[in-house]
Structure 1
């Protein structure tokens, strides 16, 4: 193949299209707001075809001079894994916000007030749905979708389509990144969790010093009101890290792609 151009009649052209489509599909499978039932299948298919066509010249240039790619179950799985790793780098931030919403819901006593989440098709606390949608909106506001496409383009240069990868190290890096989700979620929920913990202690002391006080009746409105107030105050500070999210995402994806390099 000629560098910088894509020749559909060249040997391995169809294999290159299939493998690149698998990598793009892996990203769309996990990327926030691009996966799940709310996004129609026609839209996801159109995105898959469009991104594959846009990245074909760069993929052909990266594969020029190398071995002709072959479509096998192993190569398709490896390409999908690379795309999923790029999507995971973005999904961790949104997942952390949802985990924070879950934690806050439990402490506020709202965990029982669950609604059907159209994304996961599961019953999710309303506050967790709100924090996930809030994080997704911030992600698009700071250009997260462009950062994901940029990472996909960079991956074609670092890991040529159909080339060899170190899947074991890549999977290990993905698992370690998934573990960071809970740490980020705890950091996001920390201000509200701390305020609710103090209120729980205060209500416990009041219940001991004033036996006639019905702590259960008083606790629910206090916990819900204080939790929502603290969440509203803390949201600007919690949202601040998302302003530099593209840089953080670039560092995360660079680490993941380095792990996949043979």
Structure 2
């Protein structure tokens, strides 16, 4: 029994060290990733999800031996892996911010910006809540957890363990991701902006032709009903476009953006 314990001790130590090194990146990633890292998810549940991802990713990753790690190397490893995990999570979180921006633009264009605007920690209009929660449900149904695990495994090829990303490359990547998120947001909100433009043009023409008519009181229900109608019929296409963009990021998080 004693020889067996002596032979298992190094294996257990190596396994725990490898899980710890991988958990540093995964824990930071899970804390802000969509669906699994939302503020409504309890911290214990997030921790359990991070442990589950660690068990999946850890066998595929090769980490330096703990016997060669000094205190300075350990601190460097903790900092670098935490930052690398946050970078991957921020890239995904930008897609949620794009949907929130889409909902805000759509609500502002259709006079629905104040409905339930301050009902949560992040004061966004009801349209944004609908789009975000529908997108999260769609992403999870489409296998977000599987794609996220693959993203974490392949991220070690671009961001090796224990190494900080190049600052110049990081700034270019951040600028490209932010630009892509804003472009996606304005693209998804285009139907509502076009509706608002046509509505205001028509309202101006009616007001010019009939100055005595209170066109604002007559036209306000029209723009509200039109916005809800477009949300109903355009949401499947908007969410499908959003999911395609998310899948493109998960497949190549550091690739060039169109």
TM-score by length of 2: 0.82
Tell me by how many angstroms 1:91 deviates: 2.1
Tell me the residue number matched to 2:96: 94
Check whether the contact 2:117–2:123 (CA below 8 A) recurs between aligned residues.
Answer: yes
Tell me by how many angstroms 1:159 deviates: 3.3
Distance change in 2, residues 1:95/1:254 (3 Å): same
Check whether the contact 2:110–2:224 (CA below 8 A) recurs between aligned residues.
Answer: yes
Distance change in 2, residues 1:237/1:51 (3 Å): closer
Tell me the residue number matched to 2:11: 7
How many pairs does the alignment contain? 245
Tell me the residue number matched to 1:111: 113
Gaps of 5+ in 2: 1-9
Question: Equivalent residues in 2 for 1:1-262 (5 A)?
Answer: 7-10=11-14, 14=17, 16-59=18-61, 61=62, 63=64, 68=69, 70-72=73-75, 74-118=76-120, 121-163=121-163, 165-242=165-242, 244-245=244-245, 247-255=247-255
DSSP 3-state at the match of 2:123? strand
Check whether the contact 2:35–2:140 (CA below 8 A) recurs between aligned residues.
Answer: no
Tell me by how many angstroms 1:180 deviates: 1.8
Q: Matches of 1:46 and 1:117 in 2, distance apart?
A: 28
**Greater shift in the superposed pair: 29-38 or 247-256:** 247-256
Can you list the C-alpha shifts for 1:136-180, whole angstroms capped at 9, x where unaligned? 122122222321111011123443322454244224412430232
Check whether the contact 1:89–1:252 (CA below 8 A) recurs between aligned residues.
Answer: no
Check whether the contact 1:24–1:48 (CA below 8 A) recurs between aligned residues.
Answer: yes
Q: Matches of 1:181 and 1:117 in 2, distance apart?
A: 25
DSSP 3-state at the match of 1:46? helix
Gaps of 5+ in 1: 1-5, 257-262
Distance change in 2, residues 1:219/1:75 (3 Å): farther
Tell me by how many angstroms 1:117 deviates: 4.8
**Greater shift in the superposed pair: 49-58 or 144-153:** 49-58
**Greater shift in the superposed pair: 22-31 or 183-192:** 22-31
TM-score by length of 1: 0.81
Considering only CA atoms, is the larger Rg found in Structure 1 or Structure 2?
2
Q: Matches of 1:110 and 1:200 in 2, distance apart?
A: 15
Q: Matches of 1:67 and 1:193 in 2, distance apart?
A: 59
Distance change in 2, residues 1:35/1:247 (3 Å): closer
Q: Matches of 2:164 and 2:240 in 1, distance apart?
A: 39
